[in-house]
Amino acid sequence: MPELPEVHTIVQGINKSLLGYKILEVRDIKKKYNLLSQEDIDSKVINATIVSAERLAKQIVLNLDNQHSLSFHLAMTGKLLLREPGHPQDKAERLVLNLIYQNGARELRFCDTRLFGKVKILHSQEIEKSKNNFGLDPTTKEFNSKNFYNVIKSKNTSIKNLLMDQRKIAGLGNIYATDALWLANINPTTHTSQITKEQASKLLDSVISVLNEGIAHRGISMRDYVDLYGEKGSHQNHFKVYQQSHCSRCQCEIQTVRINGRATYFCPLCQPHKDKTLNKKISVN
C-alpha cells in the first residue's frame, strides 16, 4: 500500500508535469462501480484547469481552478499514470482524464486492480475540513518533539500502533513505521505510556529520516506501486529491518511480531522490551 513517500512522489510528478492542463473529458471505464456521478463530472470537473496538487495524509489531491478538487486514494493497488494519447491501454483502468494544454494532449489514468481505491470530487471547504481528520504530518514544522511526545501520550496502545494511526500521525504505514522503530532502538510492542521524552525525540528523527530516504528513492515498488510516469521506486532495496533476516547493526536474527494483524520486524538485541517475556513471538494490539 502506498505510504507517504510514494504519494509524495506522485504529487511531485503532477506538480511538475500537469499544472495548467485543462480537463476535457472524464471517462469512467468501469461504470458499474459508479466511481463518480456524471452530473458531478459535468458540473465540477469538465473544462476545469489543474492549478496544483497536494498530499493529504495518503491522498492525492488535484486542485482545480473552480474551487473543486479531485481526490484520489490509491488504497492497495491504485495507480495514477500520465500517458500520451494512444498509449496502449493500461491494466485495470477505472477512470481516464483527457487533458489538454497549449495544443499538447495527455491522459491521466487511474488504474486499480482490486478496486479498493477511491476518487472523490470535493469543494475546497470540504478539503479544509477533512484536514481535521488527520494527525500530525511528518513533513510539516508542527511535527516537532513537543507535539510528537504529546501525540504519543494521547493514546494507550503500542508505539507501533500509534505510528500507524492516521488520526494521530498522517501518512505512515507498516514498513516505514517498522524501520523507524528499529532506527530509534525501540521495541514495537512498547506501550506508549512507557516511551520517554528522549525516546520520542529519537523516534521523531528516525521517522523523518526513513521518510526522507523513501522519498529520495522515489518510494517502494514491491508489488504494484509505480510513479506518475510508470517508473518503479527503489526503496525496497534499502529496508533497515523490514523483511530482513539479520540485523545490519548486530547480526542478530530478526524476529517478527504481529501487531494489529501486521507483520512487524524487530531486532531482539537492538530493540529489547523492558518486559523480557515479550521478547518472543507474541500477538498484541
Residue numbers annotated as active site: 2-3, 58, 262
Give me the least distance between CB of 252 and Zn ion, in Å please: 5
Task: Tell me which amino acid residue 184 is.
Answer: A
Question: Three-state SS for 77?
Answer: coil
Residues 149-178 that bind Zn ion (CB under 5 A): none
* Under rule CB under 5 A, residue 270 binds Zn ion: yes
Give me the least distance between CB of 201 and Zn ion, in Å please: 21
State the Cα torsion 158-118-127-62 to the nearest 10°.
120
Give me the least distance between CB of 198 and Zn ion, in Å please: 19
Residues 56-95 that bind Zn ion (CB under 5 A): none
* Under rule CB under 5 A, residue 51 binds Zn ion: no
Backbone angles phi, psi at 27, to 5 degrees: -105, 120
Q: What contacts 155, CB < 8 A, 6 or more positions away?
A: 162, 165, 168, 192
Residues 187-226 that bind Zn ion (CB under 5 A): none
Q: Considering beta carbons, is residue 69 or 255 the nearer one to Zn ion?
A: 255
Give me the least distance between CB of 181 and Zn ion, in Å please: 12
Question: Three-state SS for 89?
Answer: coil
Q: Considering beta carbons, is residue 27 or 249 the nearer one to Zn ion?
A: 249
Which position among 1, 29, 76, 269 is part of the footprint of Zn ion (CB under 5 A)? 269
Would strands 78-83 and 93-101 be described as parallel, antiparallel, or unpaired?
unpaired
* Under rule CB under 5 A, residue 100 binds Zn ion: no
Q: Considering beta carbons, is residue 17 or 185 the nearer one to Zn ion?
A: 185
Which position among 4, 96, 164, 267 is part of the footprint of Zn ion (CB under 5 A)? 267
Q: Considering beta carbons, is residue 223 or 274 the nearer one to Zn ion?
A: 274
Closest-CB residue for Zn ion? 247
Q: What contacts 237, CB < 8 A, 6 or more positions away?
A: 217
Question: Three-state SS for 226?
Answer: coil
Q: Which helix (H) or strand (E) holds 176?
A: helix 174-183
Q: Considering beta carbons, is residue 59 or 190 the nearer one to Zn ion?
A: 190
Q: Which helix (H) or strand (E) holds 7?
A: helix 4-17
Judge contact between 52 and 16, C-beta under 8 A: no
Judge contact between 226 and 79, C-beta under 8 A: yes
Beta bridge partners of 97: 26, 108
Task: Tell me which amino acid residue 32 is.
Answer: K
Give me the least distance between CB of 265 and Zn ion, in Å please: 11
Interaction pattern, residues 229-258, with Zn ion; x per rule: CB under 5 A: ------------------x-xx-x------
Q: Considering beta carbons, is residue 71 or 190 the nearer one to Zn ion?
A: 190
Beta bridge partners of 158: 191
Instruction: List contacts with Zn ion (CB under 5 A).
Output: 247, 249-250, 252, 267, 269-270
